[in-house]
């Protein structure tokens, strides 16, 4: 039982980290695209 709870906890942590990471990547790409549009 304890192992299952730990496994679920680590999975949710992984998903949160991936979500934050993808959010930063999206923000970075958005800024880069805006910079390119401003240059044009």
Q: In the 8-state DSSP scheme, what is residue 40? A: -
Domain that holds residue 13: 1-40
Q: How many whole angstroms separate alpha carbon 20 and alpha carbon 37?
A: 26
Q: Higher-confidence residue: 32 or 13?
A: 32
pLDDT computed for residue 3 by the predictor: 84
pTM for this structure? 0.57
pLDDT computed for residue 1 by the predictor: 58
pLDDT computed for residue 30 by the predictor: 96
Tally of domains in the chain = 1
């Amino acid at each position: 039982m304890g192992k299952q709870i730990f496994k679920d906890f680590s999975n949710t942590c992984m998903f949160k980290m991936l979500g934050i990471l993808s959010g930063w990547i999206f923000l970075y790409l958005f800024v880069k695209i805006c910079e390119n549009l401003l240059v044009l």
